[in-house]
């Protein structure tokens, strides 16, 4: 008996049984294909096309608005009154508003000195500013380091307060809320908030406070983020592209039209009376910043975005840290929408158009539809049409709309235009994680209130000198991501099917996207370093 003779090894009865099972499965699939699979898939295509059009119209609308803003020069100084602060010989420093600067932190060993140093370096009359370090650290060594740093600045004459709690209830929102209860805060007019990795320039207050001082209906002035480590790896470059669009277009459009946008949680300065009127900090979701912004807007307060004012900060440079951040940023807004949709609709302090903007544009399209359609349509439904050729996707939905949306996104970061293909693959990969988080938020699943502080690495330029010059560091991530690997296998299978039997010729896209999912599944995205 030869080893290659399978008939001699496997009984004829078993071979026949296997063939019967295969034929039966094929017959069952053929029987349900026309009455069930095809109609369901066709319905899914229609739904996805509708969501794609919603996203397309929103992006085109924002593109038109931002073009008009740039064309007609609607600068903040023209829309709101702004006059530089002037010294008053008679009244002295009392003419300057009292400013509170809050720095919430949690085990920030790598960046605590940078943030505290930058806050203490803010140019403002020393008797009219209070630096408040809210340290929720659980590591006693780090806690001691932060306290000593505060003491060091206090010895230089800086009015700095080191505040701790005996619990972490409410996480960041809880820390900020407790900080506002301190007796010395009662004399403060405005509060500026900076996360532990943010480093404001010395003139930050001189450029923001006058807007609040001369415009009593203005509650918030938000600065733009400037990324110090965008060139750290390919993943940080992709993040830069997405966030630059957010700041260059989304925040600017919201500020210029409805004087509303989502507070970014840091690099912004609030009027304390507006913050209090809106109900203060709440920890019911993981987006306490957005929660506060929506509530303040419903009270009739206006917001201003200053794109020309940039505050340095750090992007997550590990895939693990980025996944945690994106879960919070995707789950939180969906959960907040669930909690506030009715309150927004029944509010009587704002116009109908502003309600439509907040509910439809801000929440539904940008925070829910954008995530869902990216994954479901481009990573599930579109590949499925390769296996079911009876269902077709029109070229305008499969090619033209996503191409225009992608090009519009490139407006924010023209220097990365050559990385656009990588950005598309990266965003599609992350859309799986974001879609899952969005449904958790909408359905209030088990991880709805999960809060894991984004890991920071601190002074990356100094540390980069010790790194090797390798473009790709081969090491497995902290864990294998099964869902990403599963989607990668699905796309690879469909790609192979398209090569041999398909008519759609999507196989190049399918193979490229499958590889991207495999890389993400192995936790390797953060290890790839771009050439430029």
How are beta strands 99-105 and 129-135 bridged, if at all? parallel
Distance, C-alpha 318 to centroid of its chain: 15
Name residue 222's beta-bridge partners. Answer: 268, 305
Q: Are 405 and 61 in contact (CB under 8 A)?
A: no
The span from the first CA to the last CA of the chain, in angstroms, equals 61
Alpha-carbon distances, residue 239 vs 66, 323, 413 (angstroms): 21, 12, 11
The C-alpha atoms of residue 400 and residue 512 are separated, in whole angstroms, by: 19
Tokens of 512: 């490229």
**C-alpha angle 66/70/74, rounded to 5°?**
100
3-state secondary structure 371-422: HHHHHHHHHHHHHHHHHCCCCCCCHHHHHHHHHHHHHHHCCCCHHHHHHHHH
φ/ψ of residue 19, rounded to 5: -65, -40
Q: SS3 for 337-349, per residue?
A: HHHHHHHHHHCCC
Tokens for 82, please give them: 């702004």
Just list the catalytic residues. 136, 289
Sign of CA dihedral 329, 335, 338, 340: negative
How far CA 49 is from CA of 37, 393, 490, in Å, comes to 18, 9, 22
- CB of 225 within 8 A of CB of 247? yes
The answer to whether 79 and 405 are in contact (CB under 8 A) is no
List, in sequence order, every residue forming a beta bridge with 261; answer none if it has no partner: none
Q: What's the chain's Rg over C-alpha atoms?
A: 27
Q: How far lies 345's CA from each of 4, 127, 287, 340, in Å?
A: 72, 44, 20, 9
């Amino acid at each position: 008996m030869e080893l290659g003779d399978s008939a001699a090894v496997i009984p004829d009865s078993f071979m026949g049984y296997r063939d019967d099972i295969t034929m039966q499965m094929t017959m069952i699939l053929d029987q349900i294909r026309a009455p069930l699979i095809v109609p369901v898939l066709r319905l899914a295509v229609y739904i996805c096309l509708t969501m794609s059009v919603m996203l397309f119209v929103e992006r085109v609308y924002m593109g038109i608005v931002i073009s008009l803003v740039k064309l007609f020069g609607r600068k903040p100084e023209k829309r709101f009154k702004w006059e530089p602060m002037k010294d008053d010989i008679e009244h002295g420093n009392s003419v300057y508003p009292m400013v509170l600067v809050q720095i919430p932190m949690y085990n920030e060993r790598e960046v605590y000195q940078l943030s505290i140093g930058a806050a203490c370096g803010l140019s403002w009359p020393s008797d009219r500013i209070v630096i408040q370090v809210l340290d929720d650290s659980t590591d006693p060594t780090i806690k001691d380091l932060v306290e000593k740093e505060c003491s060091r600045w206090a010895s230089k004459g800086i009015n700095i307060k080191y505040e701790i709690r005996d619990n972490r209830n409410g996480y960041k929102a809880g820390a900020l809320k407790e900080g506002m209860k301190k007796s010395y805060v009662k004399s403060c007019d405005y509060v500026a908030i900076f996360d532990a990795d943010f480093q404001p320039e010395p003139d930050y207050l001189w450029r923001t406070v006058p807007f609040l001082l001369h415009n009593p209906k203005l509650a918030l002035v938000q600065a733009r983020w400037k990324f110090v480590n965008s060139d750290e790896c390919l993943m940080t470059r992709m993040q830069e592209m997405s966030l630059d669009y957010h700041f260059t277009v989304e925040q600017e459009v919201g500020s210029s039209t409805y004087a509303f946008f989502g507070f970014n949680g840091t690099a912004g300065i609030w009027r304390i009376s507006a913050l209090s009127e809106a109900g203060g900090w709440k920890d019911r979701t993981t987006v306490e910043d957005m929660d506060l912004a929506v509530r303040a807007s419903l009270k009739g307060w206006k917001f201003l975005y200053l794109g020309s004012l940039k505050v340095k900060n750090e992007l997550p440079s590990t895939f693990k840290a980025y996944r945690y951040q994106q879960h919070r940023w995707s789950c939180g807004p969906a959960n907040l929408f669930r909690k506030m949709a009715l309150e927004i609709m029944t509010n009587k302090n704002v116009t109908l158009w502003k309600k439509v903007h907040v509910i439809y544009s801000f929440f539904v399209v940008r925070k829910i539809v954008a995530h869902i359609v990216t994954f479901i349509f481009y990573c599930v439904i579109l590949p499925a049409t390769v296996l079911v050729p009876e269902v077709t996707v029109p070229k305008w939905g499969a090619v033209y709309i996503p191409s225009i949306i992608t090009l519009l996104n490139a407006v924010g970061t023209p220097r990365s235009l050559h990385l656009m293909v990588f950005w598309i693959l990266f965003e599609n990969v992350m859309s799986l994680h974001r879609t899952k988080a969005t449904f958790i938020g909408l359905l209030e699943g088990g991880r709805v209130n999960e809060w894991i502080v984004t890991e920071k690495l601190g002074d990356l330029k100094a540390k980069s000198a010790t790194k090797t010059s390798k473009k790709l560091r081969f090491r497995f991530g902290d864990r294998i991501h099964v869902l990403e690997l599963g989607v990668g296998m699905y796309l690879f299978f469909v790609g192979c099917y398209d090569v041999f039997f398909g008519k759609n010729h999507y196989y190049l896209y399918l193979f490229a996207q499958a590889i991207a999912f495999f890389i993400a599944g192995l936790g390797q995205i953060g290890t790839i370093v771009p050439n430029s």
